[in-house]
Amino acid sequence: MSTSVSICLNPECLKPENPDGTKFCLSCGTNLASQLRERYRVISLLGSGGFGRTFLAEDTGMPSARRCVIKQLKPIGNNSQIYQLVQERFQREAAVLEELGEESSSIPSLYDYFTNAGQFYLVQQWIDGETLTQKVKKQGNLSEADCWNILMNILEVLDYVHSKGIIHRDIKPDNIILCRKDSKPVLIDFGAVKETMGTMVTSQGVPTSSIVIGTPGYMASEQAVGKAVRSSDLYSLGLTVIYALTGKIPQELPLDDDTGDYIWHQYAQNVSSNLTAILDKAIQLYPRDRYSKAKDMLNELQSGKSTPPVNVPLKTSRGNYTQLRDLLAAKKWQEADRETAQVMLKVAGVESRGFLNRSDCENFPGDDLSIINQLWLEYSNGRFGLSVQKQIWIDKCGGKRDYETDCKLGDRVGWRSGGSWKSYNQLDFSLNAPPGHLPLAGFGVAGGLNGWFGVGSLLWRQELPKN
C-alpha cells in the first residue's frame, strides 16, 4: 500500500509529516528510515501528547501486512540510572498488556515491544472504528440503549482488569473505541505504561513517579493527588457515559453549590431513573460513596433494578412514554398497565370518558401504538404486548372484528373465566399470566371488563405486526 507522506520518528520534531519519498525530514533533518525495526512501515501520525506519539503502521513481517498501532514513548528523565529503571518497568508493563490483550477481546492485543534510539515502542492491535468522542460529535448524543451496552462491556473489562490489581486511570471518551463491524467498545491506552515514562529517583535513591496519570474533568479527586483506587475508574466511566448521553464534557456541567455534585439530569431527560441513579452513584465525590468494585456496578445493571433499555423513541407530539418505560423496566406490571391506559386515553383525547371505543381504536396514532407495543414486548421478553394479542387473535380466534371473537380472545389470554369477563382486580399482573394477558390498552381500567368489546378494532391495525 502506498502512502502520501513519510513520517519523521524524531520525538522532538515539530512537523513530522513529509512528502512521500523524502529522505531527510524537512523540519529537523532526521534521516527518514523507510521502516521501523526493519518491519513496521509508518503510515500516519494518529496523535501526540506529553508521553510520546502514536502512529498507524503496517506490519510487513506478516503475510497480510496487517495494520497496527505503534506507541512511541519517551522517558522524562534523561540519565542512565533512570533509563535502566524505565527499561525494567517497561518490560514488566508490556508483559501485563500482553496478558490483558490475550484474555479480553475488549482490550487491544500486544504484538511487539522494543527500544530504538533511546525511545520505547509498543506495537498493538489496530481497532477499526471510531472513538466515543468521534461518535458523539458525528451523530449526536447516544441513546440509553447504546450507553447501557457500553457500560456493560466496559464494566466487564474493568472487573477483569481490577482483579489483576490494575487500575486503568485514564478512562474517557477518547479511550473507548467502538468497533465498526459490531459497535463493541474496546478500552485502550492504559495508564501504567505512561507512568513508567515518568519514573524519577528521589534524593534517597528511591524510584518514584513524577507524574499523575489521568485527564482533568474525568479524573477523580483522589487520583489527582496520585492515590487512584478501583472506584476512580468507575468515576471516570460514569462521566464518560454522561458525556455520551448529553454531549457535554465534565467542565461544561454545572456543580451543586452545596454538595459539589455534577448537575446533569436536565441534559438527558429521556434517561431512565434506574440508569440515572447508577451513574449518580458512580460519580460521587468521595470513593466511599461510590461503587467500590466494577462487579457491584455491573450487578446492579444486570439486576431487576436496571433492565436493559429498549431503543425506541419515548416521546411523540401527543404522548410521553418515559414513565411507562420506567415502570416496565421495574417489572411493575399493574402500574405499567394503568399508565398505558392513561397515556392512551390522553393521546386519543378521551380522558374524561375513561375508555376507548371502536372509533378511537381505528384512529389511534400509529407511531404511539407502535411505541407502546414495543415497550411491552421487549420488557416482558415477548410475553406481553399488543402484537402478542394480535397473533392469538388471528391464529387462535379467527381474527374477526366482532364480539364473539373478542370473547374467544378473552378466554385465551385470561380476561374471561366461566363465560364471564373478569373484573380488573381479578387479572394476573405477573409473568405467570397467560401470553398476551397485558396490556389492557385503555379498556376496562375504570369499570372492569364487563361489556367490553371492540378489541379487534385495535389489533387489526397495520402498525402492529403479527408477532
| Whether 176 contacts 41, CB under 8 Å | no
Peptide bond into 308 cis (omega under 30): no
| Whether 384 contacts 376, CB under 8 Å | yes
The pLDDT score that the predictor gives to residue 361 is 84
In percent, the amount of the chain with pLDDT more than 70 equals 87
| Residue with cell string 371492540 | 454
Q: Is the pLDDT of residue 259 over 70?
A: yes
Q: Is the pLDDT of residue 372 over 80?
A: yes
**In terms of Cα–Cα distance, which of 325, 239, 240 is closest to 280?**
239
Crossing angle between the packed helical segments 273-282 and 294-302, to the nearest 10 degrees:
170
The pLDDT score that the predictor gives to residue 159 is 96
Higher local confidence (pLDDT), 409 or 443: 409
Does the CA dihedral 355-357-363-366 come out positive or negative? positive
Q: Is the pLDDT of residue 450 over 60?
A: no
408-413-414-417 Cα dihedral, nearest 10 degrees? 10
Mean pLDDT across 353-364 = 83
Return the C-alpha cell found at 365. 396514532
| Whether 233 contacts 167, CB under 8 Å | yes
Residues ≥6 apart with Cβ < 8 Å to 32: 6, 7, 8, 18, 22, 23, 24, 25
| Whether 416 contacts 437, CB under 8 Å | no
Q: What are the b/e assignments for 335-350, b being 16+ CB within 10 Å?
A: bbbbbbbebbbebbeb
- At 21-58, the pLDDT tens digits run 888 999 999 888 767 888 998 888 898 876 778 999 99
The pLDDT score that the predictor gives to residue 199 is 44
Q: What are the b/e assignments for 414-423, b being 16+ CB within 10 Å?
A: bbbeeeebbe
**In terms of Cα–Cα distance, which of 167, 86, 166, 171 is closest to 120?**
86
**How far are the Cα atoms of 2, 37, 188 from residue 42, in angstroms, in the given order?**
11, 11, 20
Active site residue 59: no
Could you say which of 20, 112, 159, 170 is catalytic?
170
